[in-house]
Structure 1
Amino acid sequence: MPTHENPVTEVSAPVDWRENAKNLTAGAAGGVAQVLIDIVKVRLQTQTSGSAVSAARNIWAKEGPAAFYKGTLVPLLGVGACVSIQFGAFHGFRQLLESYNERNNHESRDLSLTQFYLAGGAAGVTNSVISGPVEHIRIRLQAQPHGAGRLYTGPLDCAKKIVGVAGPAGIYRGQVVTLLREFHGYGVWFAAYEGFMALLQAKTQTKREDLPNWQVAVCGGLAGEALWLLSHPLDVIKSKMQSDGFGSDQKYRNMRHAFQLTWSTGGIRGLFQGIGPALLRAMPVSAGTFAT
């Protein structure tokens, strides 16, 4: 009988090739979906004031509907792989923690929510080696001026120009804040999902494999909302650093400086600029990823 349990949190029988394919497909689908409205979030974080609706209206009016897909080629190729890496890495780290629990005579080999957070965070760090440069290129393409002021013709041209100005290390600009965001964000994501699932099972007195798909999806969607609510300030700083100029045009010396300037000009509101599109995207994307 097919189950509704998320494949990455299933305990602990060996996963066959069909389950691996399911994990990869779920990760890729979630990764592809999450880039499609991302330009509004990036514009709010890096350039404009006002609401998400006004930002979207301006993009449509000045750049046309195709602009909402600006910078999506690299994410379409890379973000699906990134999410798949997260799921695979999470599965591996979860098994290590289960073995640790078993060796240390814990009452159960099952993970605590703190351990789920650590496993999710470690998976996020593993993934950041790829997600850092992928998102850097995407953000530059999405934040660049339109028309005659355009800086890059596409992702390859963007990567070449970054390397030409800043060397190969330039591709990894903002990597420290990326590591922090990935660790904390995906730690929250996996731990929140497990926490919501445990609450649902306790409330309904239902085994996990017997829960309907829509309830699993709701838990996944709420976990996505928790991810962005608790990691969005790090994402704002990352976007600011990765859209910043080079050389004499560089505004932010480092992550700390970016936080200081953002706080001095916008306060707490500045650290949550673009949260609306992030939350709007998070619910369906995360719900679909966990329920697939």
Structure 2
Amino acid sequence: MATSTDYVTQSAASQSQATHSAGEKRKAGMEAIEDIVYGSAAGVIGKYIEYPFDTVKVRLQSQPDHLPLRYHGPLDCFRQSIRADGFLGLYRGISAPLVGAAAETSSLFFFERLGRETVYASGLYARDTVLPLPALWFTGAFSGTFTSFVLTPIELVKCKIQVPAPSTGGIRQQPPGVLSVIKDVYKHDGFRGFWHGQMGTFLREAGGCAAWFGSKETTTKLFYVLNERGIKTQAEKDVLRTESLPLWQQAIAGASAGMSYNFLFFPADTIKSRMQTTAVGGTAVKKTFMQEGRALWHQHGLRGMYRGCGITVLRSAPSSAFIFMVYDGLKKYFPL
């Protein structure tokens, strides 16, 4: 028979469990807010660094198959673009990408956390253990899959603004603005038209983000192993793993992430850019992902798939390094 003491003990235990559950929910909520706020800040800073290079990349990728190449490489594209529009012309249309960078980076960190929660919920790993590298590559792919649906409309608007404005009778037309592009797409293709090129974004983000998070975590763990050399006691090693890496090692880990992300799935990004720079309305024929890929392969082969890759990988190194350093620094020094 239960005594009054038993009921008091059970009640106290229930209250303690409820308090613990509420605390966990509040912590998870704060971490989600950090992902959104700090991820947005890191994304905006990274976008300012990389945007001129991104403009050159899109212009190299979107050159028509049936015409002679307008640009003979990244440097030539930079030179022609600056001569035509000035250096600030390379930042044309940055307002949409800034929103996109904030949305993309915050989504990446937010969905990556959800990916970790999914892995823990599967029961494969206890919540108090550090996930192994294969699981972290999976959480990156999980994050990229969902982020791709957020990103495609923003990139479609960005790509249409970045390509050079056509000339009529030798007179160069005024490049379109963000609102005019949005209205034009909606008028001719409806709401669904903003996801033209989704397959390319999906392949790039799912595979690329697996490499982005996975490479960063792999390089980080490698540095911790190297830093432990010469340390004999396990206690000292445990303390070392709770400390942040030196800034130069954080930068290398972040840079390796960006370079892996951009190089491995660059052909998917090239095909996506070509799809999204197709004219809207009129007699323009929209190709599927496979049709666009086959046309590019028949015309230029593998080299055409990787046109603009060098400059993209180059600009991704500092950009990605800053994104991770800003995000990790904000979480460490300004926790919510």
Q: In structure 1, the residue corresponding to 2:51 is in which secondary structure?
A: coil
Q: In structure 2, the residue corresponding to 1:273 is in which secondary structure?
A: coil
Which residue does the alignment assign to 1:43?
59
Offset from partner CA, 1:190-226 (integer Å, 9 cap, x none): 0111111111111221526242122011111011101
Between 125-134 and 221-230, report the one with greater CA deviation.
125-134
Q: Does 1:141 find its partner at 2:157?
A: no
Query: Are the structure 2 counterparts of residues 62 and 210 from structure 1 closer, same or farther at C-alpha, using a change threshold of 3 Å?
Result: closer
Matches within 5 A, 1:100-249: 100=122, 103-104=123-124, 109-145=129-165, 148-150=171-173, 153-205=176-228, 206-207=240-241, 209-246=243-280, 249=283
Between 58-67 and 20-29, report the one with greater CA deviation.
20-29
Deviation of 1:61 after TM superposition, in Å, equals: 0.9
Which residue does the alignment assign to 1:275?
309
TM-score by length of structure 1 reads: 0.86
Out of 55, 63, 70, the position equivalent to 2:77 is 55
Deviation of 1:152 after TM superposition, in Å, equals: 5.1
> How many angstroms apart in 2 are the aligned matches of 1:219 and 1:264?
37
Q: In structure 1, the residue corresponding to 2:119 is in which secondary structure?
A: helix
Query: Are the structure 2 counterparts of residues 224 and 107 from structure 1 closer, same or farther at C-alpha, using a change threshold of 3 Å?
Result: same
For the 8 Å contact 1:28–1:81, the answer to whether it is kept is no
Which residue does the alignment assign to 1:6?
none
Which residue does the alignment assign to 2:235?
none
Which residue does the alignment assign to 2:321?
287
> How many angstroms apart in 1 are the aligned matches of 2:281 and 2:268?
23
> How many angstroms apart in 1 are the aligned matches of 2:176 and 2:39?
34
Query: Are the structure 2 counterparts of residues 152 and 56 from structure 1 closer, same or farther at C-alpha, using a change threshold of 3 Å?
Result: closer
Query: Are the structure 2 counterparts of residues 52 and 224 from structure 1 closer, same or farther at C-alpha, using a change threshold of 3 Å?
Result: same
Partner AA of 2:57 in structure 1 = K
Q: Does 1:79 find its partner at 2:104?
A: no
> RMSD over aligned Cα, in angstroms?
2.5
> How many angstroms apart in 2 are the aligned matches of 1:98 and 1:25?
28
Deviation of 1:78 after TM superposition, in Å, equals: 2.6
Partner AA of 1:145 in structure 2 = A
Q: Percent identity?
A: 28
Which residue does the alignment assign to 2:332?
none
Deviation of 1:228 after TM superposition, in Å, equals: 0.7
Structure 2 gap ranges (5+): 1-25, 64-69, 229-239, 327-336
> How many angstroms apart in 1 are the aligned matches of 2:85 and 2:41?
32
Q: In structure 1, the residue corresponding to 2:130 is in which secondary structure?
A: coil
> How many angstroms apart in 2 are the aligned matches of 1:149 and 1:50?
21
> How many angstroms apart in 1 are the aligned matches of 2:277 and 2:180?
15
Which residue does the alignment assign to 1:4?
none
Larger Rg: 2
Query: Are the structure 2 counterparts of residues 105 and 264 from structure 1 closer, same or farther at C-alpha, using a change threshold of 3 Å?
Result: closer
For the 8 Å contact 1:27–1:80, the answer to whether it is kept is yes
For the 8 Å contact 1:36–1:72, the answer to whether it is kept is no
For the 8 Å contact 1:117–1:191, the answer to whether it is kept is yes
> How many angstroms apart in 2 are the aligned matches of 1:249 and 1:86?
37
> How many angstroms apart in 2 are the aligned matches of 1:149 and 1:187?
42
Deviation of 1:156 after TM superposition, in Å, equals: 0.6
Deviation of 1:110 after TM superposition, in Å, equals: 2.9
Offset from partner CA, 1:97-120 (integer Å, 9 cap, x none): 1333xx246798432333222211
Partner AA of 1:42 in structure 2 = V
For the 8 Å contact 1:42–1:143, the answer to whether it is kept is yes
> How many angstroms apart in 2 are the aligned matches of 1:243 and 1:133?
12
TM-score by length of structure 2 reads: 0.76
Query: Are the structure 2 counterparts of residues 261 and 74 from structure 1 closer, same or farther at C-alpha, using a change threshold of 3 Å?
Result: same
Structure 1 gap ranges (5+): 1-12
